[in-house]
Amino acid sequence: MKRLILSLALVCAGAHAEFKDGNKLYDQMTSGVNSDWFNAIGYITGVADAGRGSISCPPANLTAGQLFDMVKQQMANLPGGRHYSADVIINVIMMQAWPCPKKGPTL
């Protein structure tokens, strides 16, 4: 848990504007309104797809529902980190779960 907070702090060290923070994403995930839920799962899968193979290397059979559950659980367990940008939170969760293999030097 402390590593997740530290990772978020390091990634978010610079000030920048974001479209959605973790508080907004978590509210959508837990609101019980279908349109909010679909918006949240679409956002999560979009961020995951954008970083696939470069930021994290999840298994090919990972489902959107599994990823949604992982993000929701991590955000529920770490309410103090929800003020970070939602894309950063998702990427850190995925990097910790499925880091990409280290590549050797190219010649």
Q: For 37-72, how does the pLDDT look when each residue is reduced to its tens digit (9 = 90+)?
A: 999 999 999 999 999 999 999 999 999 999 999 999
DSSP-derived secondary structure for 22-66: HHHHHHHHHS--HHHHHHHHHHHHHHHHHHBTTTB---TT--HHH
Domain extent, residue 88, equals: 2-8+20-97
Q: How many domains does the chain have?
A: 1
Residue 105 lies in a domain: no
pTM flag (> 0.95): no
Residue 59 lies in a domain: yes
The CATH number linked to 51 is 1.10.890.40
Q: For 73-100, how does the pLDDT look when each residue is reduced to its tens digit (9 = 90+)?
A: 999 999 999 999 999 999 999 999 999 9
